Chains A and B, each alone.
Chain A
Amino acid sequence: MGEAGWISLKVLGIDLPLLFLLGTGAGWFLGRHSFRGRELVILLLLLPVALPPAVVGLYILLLAEKVVWFQKLGILFSFPGAALAPLIPAFPLMMQASLSAFEGVPLSLEQAARMLGHSPWGVFCKVTFPLVWRQLAAGLALAGVRCLGDFGTTLMVAGNIPGKTQTLPLYIYGEVEALNLSGAHGAAILLTLFGMGSLLFVRSMRSRGWNHVS
């Protein structure tokens, strides 16, 4: 279990920063720009969360089979695959949280800050980010939980190779298959605690007083 736990931690260590950057960027862009086809882009980016993990995994395998440069990345049945596979179903959760957060900041606040002498980056740091960071953090926590708990996509893309691609959920599956329920139980408790901790964090990130005021 120790090895699986360590691999899960490494996956989180790689995925959380990526989720934060990609999800925040996409949410900001889509929340602050309007263009033809915007709704379609949002739909496509959110789609992985609505698909069964096996389907997402299958698409990745098909992609790896058909696209040469994707093959060259060598992510199939390797640790990079185990790290990147959970990103895909977790990303929509982060992006949705970020999109809602940015859409919830009235444009007039940013415009007021510009009129008061601040550059666009200054406005982001002093106005926009302070107003959205709680929602971003909550979104990241949920996406992290989804990432850590991913089973189907990781199994399809990276397999269940102990010491290499076996994360905690795959370890539980392996132990259950081997009828070692008590071995699986320890990992399950660990994941349950992590899930509860994340949810507590999400709840604690709820709006402060000023957020209730439109």
Chain B
Amino acid sequence: MSLEARLKHRIGSFSLDLSLHLREGITVLFGPSGAGKSMTLRLLGGLLRLQEGYIRAGDRLLAGNGGVHLPPEKRNMGMVFQDLALFPHCTVEENVLFGVASGAKRKQAREWITRMELQGMEKRYPHELSGGQRQRVALARALAPEPSILLMDEPFSALDGPLKSRMRREVKRLQREMGIPLLYVTHSVEDIGALADQVLFVREGRDVAFIEASRLWNGHASPDIWNVLGWGTLLEGKIEHFQGATWFALGNQRLLLSSHGVFPGEARIFLPPHKMHLLDPHRPVEPELQGGVLRGILRDAAYLRGRCTLHVQVEDTVVEADLPEEHCLRFSLEEGTPVLLGIRPEAVVVMPRGREKLGVSGKRKGAVCVKDSLVLARDRMQEKLGERQEMIEKERVVAEPLGVEEAIGDPSPYKDFPLLVGEEKLMEIRFRNGRGQAFTSCPVRWKGTLGEIFSLSLEEEKNRGLLIASLNALAAEFGWTEKTVHCKDGSPDLCARTIAKHLMETFGNDHVVGIVGYQPAFVKRVAETFGPERVRVTDLNPKNVGYQRFGVEIWHGERDLDRLAKECSLALVTGSALSNGSFDIVWDTLKEHQVQAFCFGTTIAGIAALLEYPRLCFEAS
């Protein structure tokens, strides 16, 4: 059984807007107080009527779709409440059997009393039990009716440490035995470590990131996730070039950055606490930490399980450092002591503002990735231009969004191309004879030189669209790539059919093909060629997610990306992902799972040529 939901709900000034997909295993829903965690559980359980979106358990629609609302008693879900909600007027036995109809099932349900080590307490009332016993009654009561999904709302928050650990182990054991999806709501980091198979991070009613727990602890967590976890330091300031190097200016201090892919301008950087070093002021700074030194005043030091956490006032901000205890014990660390912190330039995570915002807004969600192919392509283009650089500084160009007819003509019978439904526009720039185009959801009219476009901040999606179109125009002009102009009328369909055929002929039909970014012609033709059961599609548009298209269910673009990567051996990635900044996350995830991935579409033409990404294009192939 799996549970899939898109939840949109507003109460007063708080609005919840998140998607989730529960599979077998324990999903921890993590977020600070007021993030909407409990509201999520209540919506899933049917205790609140969903205003917008849907909830689906397996093939069953539980809520959504224009007013469907299955009451809680018909959802077959178990819930353990934060206050446990044991019925005070019922004995242990009555509590456990409360949700079980009389008959043979009651006998089975009674076994839960033994299973949860509650024998001998059957006739006791909840107030006669210890905290741990009450927890076990609540668990037994929720599990006795054999629910298909279990929801738990911070049930162990009131327990002391050892009891909490024991209960966590017990929950994990039970979940493994029963094999049902479990959604566990918490704001405790320890719960993640002890329980989670996957973690959904929420903040201010939005899903910030979804990640396998094993990846979380292996350095795959983005600064966004760390931010929700309340770890590390996010700093706002300016990146500047100085003495041939790239620095982050923090008040009167500077922090050396790895110059690769980092450009001057407003920026946010993230300092991972475990990458910080505590330096001895009487010794010379190690070469690899040169330039990465921050001077500050110690605010506090806390020691736990062989680690020490320091909070150091650096200029007007507090920097967190998490170090092995022995590093701290070497110094006399008292509040108010001046300290030196160090960090290697490559350990500093530069977060372009726009992309950080993408994670928060919910419009385009995704773990923030520092690597940006667009930035790399811009650098490569500048290298390739060499002496021709002057051209792009002087010659003025015009960028403008094209009308639908001008862009793709009449793509009948398809009616749901993103361009046709107003989700995005095709923007074009002409440079001499070269025409470059880019799909973007933030089209702009713009006049100026390509040089100016090259210096625009890529934090904003509209600037990314401009740069992509520019790179395509330049690549077309210099003959580095073909097909930088979108094909029209029936050609996109023909292209899709040819690519599907090409994949089949090249790789055979025993592959599962992933399509990242819903493009109707591609989904239709690939599904026709390989069979809908061998096609997986993800998309970020909520109007598509969760719906069947050409016999294929559209999955969530961020949340289900790992799933797609795991299940597919071939993948097609739309170049439009470059515009919203999700391309690198997609590409890296596919590569990590050794998926043979290809880009398609006009948008990525120039970048694919510059960075040598495999691209499939009917006319270009």
Give chain A's interface residues, CB within 8 Å of chain B: 106, 108-109, 111-119, 126-127, 130-131, 209-213
Contact = CB atoms under 8 A, between A and B. Distances in A.
Which secondary structure characterizes the binding site on chain A? Answer: helix
B140 to A, nearest CB: 12
A115 B87 contact: no
B47 interface: yes
Given A209-B127, A213-B127, A131 B72 contact: no
Interface string B120-140: 000001111000000000000
B81 interface: yes
B126 A213 contact: yes
B72 A115 contact: yes
Contacts of B128: 209
10 closest A-B pairs by CB: A116-B99, A213-B127, A210-B88, A112-B85, A108-B85, A114-B72, A115-B79, A117-B73, A108-B81, A130-B89
Given A108-B81, A112-B81, A117 B87 contact: no
For A112, A114, A211, the residue with the greatest tally of chain B CB atoms inside 10 Å of its CB is A112
Contacts of B72: 111, 114-115
A119 B75 CA distance: 12
Interface residues of B, number: 28
Contacts of A115: 45, 47, 72-73, 75, 77-79, 99, 142
A109 B87 contact: yes
A186 to B, nearest CB: 43
Contacts of B127: 209-210, 212-213
A210 B126 contact: yes
A131 B89 contact: yes
Given A111-B72, A210-B125, A210-B127, A117 B81 contact: no
Nearest to A112: B85
A175 B85 CA distance: 57
Contacts of A109: 85, 87
Contact of B145 (A114, A117, A210, A213): A117
A209 B613 CA distance: 72
B73 A106 contact: no
A214 B568 CA distance: 52
B83 interface: yes
A33 to B, nearest CB: 15
B98 interface: yes
Contacts of B101: 117
B609 to A, nearest CB: 57
A210 B89 contact: yes
B88 A114 contact: no
A132 to B, nearest CB: 10
B73 A118 contact: yes
A130 to B, nearest CB: 5
B409 interface: no
A119 B88 CA distance: 19
A114 B85 contact: no
Contact of B81 (A111, A119, A127, A210): A111
B125 A112 contact: no
B614 interface: no
Contacts of A211: 88
B87 to A, nearest CB: 6
B71 interface: yes
Given A113-B98, A210-B125, A213-B126, A119 B85 contact: no
Nearest to A115: B79
Interface in B85-108: 85, 87-89, 98-99, 101
Interface string B44-57: 01110000000000
B125 A116 contact: no
B88 A112 contact: no
B524 interface: no
B193 to A, nearest CB: 28
Nearest to A105: B88
A85 B83 CA distance: 45
B79 A112 contact: yes
B146 to A, nearest CB: 11
Nearest to B141: A116
B98 A116 contact: yes
B71 A114 contact: yes
Nearest to A213: B127
A131 B73 contact: no
Contact of B73 (A119, A126, A127): A119
Nearest to A114: B72
For B73, B98, B125, the residue with the greatest tally of chain A CB atoms inside 10 Å of its CB is B73
Nearest to B125: A210
B80 to A, nearest CB: 9
Contacts of B145: 116-117
B85 A117 contact: no
Contacts of A212: 127
Contacts of A209: 125, 127-128
B460 to A, nearest CB: 43
Given A113-B98, A114-B73, A115-B78, A106 B83 contact: yes
A126 B101 CA distance: 14
Contacts of B73: 114-119
19 contacts: A108-B82, A108-B85, A111-B47, A111-B81, A112-B81, A113-B98, A114-B47, A114-B71, A114-B73, A117-B145, A118-B73, A119-B71, A130-B89, A131-B89, A210-B89, A210-B125, A210-B127, A213-B126, A213-B127
Contacts of A130: 89
Nearest to B91: A210
A113 B141 CA distance: 10
Contacts of B82: 108
For B79, B85, B127, the residue with the greatest tally of chain A CB atoms inside 10 Å of its CB is B85
A130 B82 CA distance: 23
B81 A131 contact: no
Nearest to A113: B98
